[in-house]
């Protein structure tokens, strides 16, 4: 039995349907997507909890019911009577998707207000998973509180897994993003960056530069995702390249990185070797990008 706590924001997703003006309501968000896939990939003897904050209104209750139905533990979810959950709308224009967000005041932004609640959620867990988006939505003092809680969790033997998921639009400026991401990396044991984003915002010339930069923070394991290209791992300073999975037709790359992380982590939790875990991550992501939407039924 292991317990993994995924930490971040789940939002209401309004996705267009074939009927003009009609949208389908769903739930998504980077860390929740990973938790959702992790739950499906692990057996019932592994627990996956989601830690976030939601409101007390009916939309928040629907979200909680959705998470519970997905098999995720919801006992650590905080409830705020003065806030509700964030929302985004997807628009399709000639096949191009664009996103509009209403999340500036979302309840999830309060998920790290209370040190005791963070410690209670992490107590006895084996893995904690968070992302750069988790950090981006928090006020600076709450970000530090979350990092401190993760550092204590790590010092007590917990594995801290971090996807930098760089989203400059959520930060006040790119330098703040870079500084906070590297501070997040410094409390982590496993980091799962995507090279393309890292090259754009950290000027990494190749995946090895991304791996070296994170390894220099004292992280044991770095796995650099790389679109359709070869992935690179760096474990205790040793770099290894991993072949990508060939995908004939990419339908929708939404949640490629999130589902990779779940496939990788599910294997690590089950005790697989690193190369097998990377292959499993790539296989899961390959399935996900051959279907539409963030949450895809795996075969
Ligand atoms: P993100 O979705 O976070 O931007 P990437 O684009 O690097 O991250 O994709 C994450 C992972 O998804 C890749 O490492 C790979 O395993 C898989 N993937 C993404 N795009 C493709 C593709 N075109 N062909 C095969 N695998 C892909």
- The per-residue pLDDT for 287 is 96
**Interstrand relation of 231-235 and 238-242 (parallel, antiparallel or unpaired):** antiparallel
Please say if the pLDDT value at position 48 is more than 90: yes
Per-range mean pLDDT, top range of 15-19, 49-53, 251-255, 295-299: 49-53
Average pLDDT over residues 243-260: 94
Could you identify the atom of ligand 1 that is nearest to the CA of residue 286? 26
Instruction: For residue 204, count other CB atoms closer than 10 A to its CB.
Output: 21
Give the pLDDT band of residue 97 (cuts 50, 70, 90). Answer: confident
Give the pLDDT band of residue 238 (cuts 50, 70, 90). Answer: very high
At 155-198, the pLDDT tens digits run 999 999 999 999 999 999 999 999 999 999 999 999 999 999 99
Cα–ligand 1 centroid distance for 144 (angstroms): 30
Please say if the pLDDT value at position 92 is more than 90: no
Could you identify the atom of ligand 1 that is nearest to the CA of residue 255? 2
Give the pLDDT band of residue 299 (cuts 50, 70, 90). Answer: confident
At 72-91, the pLDDT tens digits run 999 999 999 999 999 999 99
Please say if the pLDDT value at position 146 is more than 90: yes
Give the pLDDT band of residue 96 (cuts 50, 70, 90). Answer: confident
Q: Which of 253, 262, 263, 291 to mutate to test the pocket of ligand 1 (most atoms within 8 A of CB)?
A: 253
Report the nearest-CA residue for atom 18 of ligand 1: 227
Contact between 91 and 23 under an 8 Å Cβ cutoff? The reply is: no
Cα–ligand 1 centroid distance for 177 (angstroms): 22
Average pLDDT over residues 205-219: 97
Average pLDDT over residues 16-20: 91
- The per-residue pLDDT for 42 is 97
ipTM over 0.90: yes
Cα–ligand 1 centroid distance for 9 (angstroms): 22
Please say if the pLDDT value at position 94 is more than 90: no
Residue-averaged pLDDT of the chain: 96
| Residue 204 among the catalytic residues | no
Report the nearest-CA residue for atom 16 of ligand 1: 282
Ligand 1 neighbours, Cβ below 6 Å, are 194, 196, 225-228, 231, 244-245, 247, 250, 253, 256-257, 260, 282, 285-286, 289
Residues 6+ apart with CB under 8 A from 63: 10, 12, 27, 54, 85
Please say if the pLDDT value at position 95 is more than 80: no
Contact between 221 and 227 under an 8 Å Cβ cutoff? The reply is: no
DSSP-assigned states of every residue in 31-81: HHHHHHHHHHHS-TTEEEEEE-EE-SSHHHHHHHHHHHHTT-B-TT-EE-T
- The per-residue pLDDT for 220 is 95
Cα–ligand 1 centroid distance for 165 (angstroms): 13
Measured N-to-C along each axis, helices 256-269 and 30-41 cross at an angle, to the nearest 10 degrees, of 40
Residues 6+ apart with CB under 8 A from 245: 279, 282, 283, 285, 286
């Amino acid at each position: 039995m292991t317990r993994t706590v995924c930490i971040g924001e789940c939002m209401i997703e309004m996705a267009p349907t074939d009927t003009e003006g009609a949208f389908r309501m769903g739930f998504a968000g980077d860390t929740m997507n990973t938790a959702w896939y992790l739950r499906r990939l692990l057996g019932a003897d592994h627990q996956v909890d989601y830690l976030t904050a939601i409101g007390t209104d009916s939309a928040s209750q629907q979200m909680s019911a959705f998470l519970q139905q997905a098999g995720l533990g919801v006992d650590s979810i905080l409830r705020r009577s003065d806030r509700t959950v964030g929302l985004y709308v997807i628009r399709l224009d000639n096949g191009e998707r664009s996103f509009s967000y209403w999340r500036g005041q979302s309840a999830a932004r309060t998920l790290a207000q209370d040190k005791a609640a963070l410690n209670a959620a992490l107590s006895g867990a084996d893995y904690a998973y968070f992302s750069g988006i988790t950090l981006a939505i928090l006020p600076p003092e709450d970000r530090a509180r979350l990092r401190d809680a993760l550092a204590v969790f790590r010092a007590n033997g917990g594995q801290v897994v971090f996807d930098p998921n760089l989203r400059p639009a959520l930060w006040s400026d790119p330098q703040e993003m870079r500084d906070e991401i590297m501070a997040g990396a410094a409390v982590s044991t496993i980091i799962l960056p995507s090279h393309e984003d890292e090259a754009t915002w950290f000027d990494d010339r190749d995946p090895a530069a991304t791996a070296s930069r994170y390894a220099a923070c004292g992280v044991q394991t770095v796995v650099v995702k790389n679109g359709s290209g070869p992935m690179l791992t760096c474990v205790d300073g040793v770099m290894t390249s991993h072949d990508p999975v060939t995908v004939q037709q990419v339908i929708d790359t939404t949640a490629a990185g999130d589902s990779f992380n779940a496939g990788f982590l599910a294997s690590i939790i089950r005790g697989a070797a690193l190369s097998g875990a990377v292959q499993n991550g790539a296989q899961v992501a390959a399935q996900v990008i051959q279907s539409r939407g963030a949450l895809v039924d795996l075969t």
